[in-house]
Amino acid sequence: MTLKHLNYDVAVIGGGAAGIGAAIAAAKSGARTILVEAGPIFGGELLSGMSIDGVLNGRGEWVVRGVADEIFEECRKMDGFIGPLHDYRLICYVCVDPEIMKIAVMRVLERHGVTPALYTQLTDVVCDNGTVKSAILVHKNTRTALSAKYFIDASGDGDLAFLAGAPTEFSDESGELQPLSLMFRMSGVENEPLLRFVRDNAPSLAVGESEAVRAGRTDEQLAQAIHDQGEPTIFFRGNGPFLGGAIQRGEMAPTALIMIMPTSKARKEVCVNATRIAENISGLDALGVSGAVSRLMEQVWNTAEFLKAHCPGFENAVFAGMAPRVGIRETRRVMGEYVLSGDEAAKGVKQRDVITKGAHHIDIHQDGTRQVRIPIADGGSYDIPFGCLIPRNVKNVLTAGRCISTDRIANGTTRMMGQCLGTGHAAGTAAAMCIAKGHEDIRQLPVKDLQAKLRDQGAVLDGTY
């Protein structure tokens, strides 16, 4: 195998929401930055068509800004931004056209001079006394030793931190893992009949699941509010008459939800989240995940057929595409200097070392029609402290995104794309600041200096109680 050497200030592993946020932030702060991605395109789950949750709280206040704004603005310029919207259940979210998102992400990375390294997988690290000296990357027949002053693990799975010797957790004592799912999109969906159906079928919907969102309104009034908002932000619940009846009749596989959200007004297109295989398959097991793909595709097709046959507005809809890959909700959590708990998140606890916020309810999908949904207190936000991004046992590594340091319950909210963008922004900025100051251990960076810089860059660290 050919051996190559590369050298950067900051090496970000994983080009999903967190890695994109981290790479942009590091480059904006003056670091020579490379973004390494195993796949052929940057975006990760940002390209799935799902709404970007956790950038707003349940009351509709923005809790994640900065780098996230820049990406949304790029989508907006190309007519690919829909939102923010309310789901009248628990949250407000931003919807984007995932096809436009592909271009938006590339444009922003390019603008800030991030070096792209697609088709390139991290397979190993070289460490010396708690410092990662280089990441070993593989592309076809070439191995690359990528050295950098700081590494950011945005792989979703904590691959780099794990290889570097940081402790990790996986599931909890129950061994339960969230199900695998495959998102798909349908175009030619007529909003008017769909929203009338929603308005007239409140018992089939999940609405008003927190007092902050319900605000004294009946289910019927909340269904009317979805109708009046004019966009399909719909959650048919697995135990309601519409979806529950279909599951009982064997027309739909057991699921907690058919969630529908807009992806393109021009194409009259929506994304549908409905499929699941809840067999505790590890996202780190390629054969296990591969074995689920054909079954998920059958569920996708069946759900599309079901919607066309039974859901007004879908009569003439056409199948428009699937997410680029099977969605994996849960793998390793890298244990860091601080471990955020589900209790802190649900109570909306504020922290002295905050570097970004979270606001999405705790969301743990389970088997059958089961799903844990715990709202954040008062429709507000909780703080994610810097220590959640600092893996134990290593000096020059930060984590960002789905693999940050939390317990399993908190991971049910910090895994949202808004929080991935926010933790990415903070990690990239912190790495660049350490390099500028000559710090060899991330722990040398005073949090108040990082907070000041993040505030300057538009990050939300205060308020939104």
Ligand X SMILES: Cc1cc2nc3c(=O)[nH]c(=O)nc-3n(C[C@H](O)[C@H](O)[C@H](O)COP(=O)(O)OP(=O)(O)OC[C@H]3O[C@@H](n4cnc5c(N)ncnc54)[C@H](O)[C@@H]3O)c2cc1C
Q: Which chain residues interact with ligand X by CB under 6 A?
A: 13-19, 36-39, 44-45, 50-54, 121-122, 154-157, 159, 181, 273, 327-329, 401-402, 415-418, 420
Complex with ligand X: residue 224 or 414, whichever CB lies closer: 414
CA-to-CA dists, residue 268 to 188, 225, 261, 372, angstroms:
5, 20, 11, 31
Q: For residues 34 and 115, what is the distance between their CA atoms, to the nearest angstrom?
A: 5
Complex with ligand X: residue 18 or 224, whichever CB lies closer: 18
Q: For residues 168 and 159, what is the distance between their CA atoms, to the nearest angstrom?
A: 10
Complex with ligand X: residue 277 or 317, whichever CB lies closer: 277
Complex with ligand X: residue 68 or 224, whichever CB lies closer: 68
| Shortest distance in whole angstroms from residue 354 CB to ligand X | 19
Complex with ligand X: residue 119 or 319, whichever CB lies closer: 119
- Are the CB atoms for 60 and 212 separated by under 8 Å? no
What the block records as the tokens of 61 is 């206040």
| Shortest distance in whole angstroms from residue 235 CB to ligand X | 11
- HSE-up of 232 (CA within 13 Å, CB side)? 34
| Shortest distance in whole angstroms from residue 448 CB to ligand X | 26
Q: For residues 189 and 209, what is the distance between their CA atoms, to the nearest angstrom?
A: 27
Element containing residue 256 per DSSP (H, E)? none
| Shortest distance in whole angstroms from residue 276 CB to ligand X | 8
| Shortest distance in whole angstroms from residue 403 CB to ligand X | 6
Complex with ligand X: residue 196 or 295, whichever CB lies closer: 295
**What is residue 376's DSSP assignment?**
P
Complex with ligand X: residue 14 or 240, whichever CB lies closer: 14
| Shortest distance in whole angstroms from residue 297 CB to ligand X | 14
What are the respective helix, strand and coil percentages of the chain, to the nearest 5? 35, 25, 40
DSSP string, 165-219: T--EEES-TT---PPEE--EEEES--HHHHHHHHHT-GGGB----SHHHHTT--H
| Shortest distance in whole angstroms from residue 400 CB to ligand X | 7
Complex with ligand X: residue 85 or 417, whichever CB lies closer: 417
Complex with ligand X: residue 300 or 439, whichever CB lies closer: 300
Chain mean position to CA 61 = 19
Q: For residues 167 and 36, what is the distance between their CA atoms, to the nearest angstrom?
A: 23
| Shortest distance in whole angstroms from residue 401 CB to ligand X | 2
Spatial CA neighbour of 333 closest among 413, 427, 426 = 413
Say if strands 362-365 and 371-374 run parallel, antiparallel, or are unpaired.
antiparallel
| Shortest distance in whole angstroms from residue 281 CB to ligand X | 12
- DSSP-assigned beta bridge partners for residue 398: 152
Q: For residues 401 and 417, what is the distance between their CA atoms, to the nearest angstrom?
A: 8
Complex with ligand X: residue 264 or 273, whichever CB lies closer: 273
- DSSP-assigned beta bridge partners for residue 121: 138
| Shortest distance in whole angstroms from residue 44 CB to ligand X | 2
Beta strands per DSSP E along 278-353:
318-322, 327-328, 332-334
| Shortest distance in whole angstroms from residue 437 CB to ligand X | 27
Q: Which residue's Cβ has the minimum distance to ligand X?
A: 16
Alpha helices in 384-462, H assignment, sequence order? 408-414, 417-437, 447-456
136 in helix, strand or coil? strand
| Shortest distance in whole angstroms from residue 54 CB to ligand X | 6
Total length of the chain: 465
Q: At what angle do helices 191-199 and 219-229 cross, to 10 degrees?
A: 170
Q: For residues 204 and 213, what is the distance between their CA atoms, to the nearest angstrom?
A: 18
Complex with ligand X: residue 214 or 402, whichever CB lies closer: 402
Q: Scanning the structure block, which residue is given the tokens 């000096």? A: 395
Complex with ligand X: residue 13 or 195, whichever CB lies closer: 13
